[in-house]
Amino acid sequence: MFQTFEDQRPVRDFWEQPDLNEGVPRGDILVEAPEDPTGWQGSGPAIVTDDRPPAEATSGNRLLTVLLFFAGLATSVALWLFETEAGAIQDTAALMMAVGRITGLVGGYVLFIQLLMMSRVSFLEDWVGARDLLRWHRWLGTSLVVLVGAHVVFIVYGYAMTAETGVVDQGWTMITTFPDMIGATVATGLLVFISLISIRQLRSKMPYELWHLIHLSAYLVLLLGYGHQVAMGANLGGDFADVFWPALGALVIAALVWGRLVEPVWLNVRHRFEVAEVVTEGTNTFSIYIDGKNLDKLPAQAGQFMRWRFFTGNGWWQSHPFSLSAAPNSQWLRLTVTAVGGHTAKLAEMEPGTKVWAEGPFGTFTAQRRTRRRALLIAGGSGIAPIRALLEDMPPDTIVIYRASRPDELVFREELEDLAERRDAWVRYIVGSRNDPGPRRLFTANGLLGLVPDVNRRDVYLCGPPGLVNAAVQTLRELEVPDSQLHLDPFEF
């Protein structure tokens, strides 16, 4: 159904590079060799050094985003400050009430920001990056639970002291008599439950579909929590507050509607994705080729991922993130899947013509984020998918390190070495169990320097299981590779 890889992929001008090391294998399975100066056997020719200044870096986006966040946070606290008269806090009860109101205001603001960050609106993804948004979302999620808990404790305790009643009795009275308190109690319970199931140890034991469905109840938390704020918020009124909170709410709702509804609908109406073919790549690994209309206009880059929903008998309600395993082109898209559960295993049985719903593309794990002239790509397991795609967009002299447990787990080997030949790049396979000498040596300072002597003058892209990524990052920092040169796309749930 498809042409061969070489015929199908257009040969770009920048692939026509002179072969600087003609006759040298572009891909070697390496083993430790202490007698060799590099510490490795068959590591190939020395890499030509190039100390030209780095390309222009994309910077400042994260800093500006953080400054905007704290500016909004300060504004939400200022609403309490401006509405509170001097000398109003004269006793412990008043202090408890003040702390409760401040934590409530900050918690409401953080909840809005939480949903804004996960709205999947494309400009925010491009500006900050999906990985940073997810990391901040998790950190703020923990902060939100703490803030809401503190709000409940301080407010109830302050009212109990004022009414000279017990804390439990006062809490029950507030729930049953104050407006919208039942909704606020439900919202608090949902928030705590979502926080608990987001703990990595618990989350890993749940089916992704169930976890994701429960996580969507965060929208209900927003509705119930905002209703409580409007009904009970002592500091939501006033000339400025009457503008700030509705404007913030409108921004978040608009982003959610645009990112979760408008953009996906437009993407799928425009491209009409469907399965073209499913091809076995290796043990428990297969590639899904996606056909569609106007693929040349799809705003995707090598290294990015999309969320895919396949309209099969049990798959239409499930959406999973899979990276593109080849650079986008005008004729097909490819994603490569390692079967790790019932749903992913059934994807290998899909028939051509199966309809597909996609969202994205997402992520900043792209060649456009490079800050140096050369690159190092490190992959483990199914993390080879975005790394394989990235190699198409990388400059000459790129090095790929591919970690696998067994030789039969290496996928795309022929493609990787063909690309390496075209791009004047190098592929180094480190194969074996974690206790074998070669794999043990890989993520040590001497081991990595033996493979990549100029590692601190390269951008480093990592994708693989968390253990591999964490070990690599630790070693790279020992070798003084700046964080600005590290590009991480670890497996996320």
Indicate the average pLDDT of the chain: 81
**Greater model confidence, 459 or 46:** 459
pLDDT higher than 50, residue 33: yes
User: Could you give the count of Cα atoms lying within 13 Å of 207 in the half-sphere of its Cβ?
Assistant: 9
pLDDT tens digits, 233-281: 555 556 677 788 888 888 988 998 998 899 999 999 999 999 999 999 8
pLDDT higher than 50, residue 401: yes
pLDDT at residue 3, as a whole number: 43
Q: pLDDT confidence of 339, banded at 50, 70, 90?
A: confident
pLDDT at residue 430, as a whole number: 92
pLDDT at residue 31, as a whole number: 79
pLDDT at residue 17, as a whole number: 37
CATH architecture classification, 62-266:
Up-down Bundle (1.20)
pLDDT at residue 377, as a whole number: 96
CATH number of 272-362: 2.40.30.10
Model pTM score: 0.76
Q: pLDDT confidence of 45, banded at 50, 70, 90?
A: low
Mean pLDDT of all residues in 355-373: 89
pLDDT at residue 165, as a whole number: 86
pLDDT at residue 192, as a whole number: 81
Q: pLDDT confidence of 369, banded at 50, 70, 90?
A: confident
pLDDT at residue 435, as a whole number: 86
20-29, 222-231, 332-341, 363-372: lowest mean pLDDT where?
20-29
pLDDT tens digits, 151-160: 888 988 888 8
CATH number of 366-488: 3.40.50.80
Domains of the chain, by residue range, sit at 62-266, 272-362, 366-488
**Greater model confidence, 104 or 13:** 104
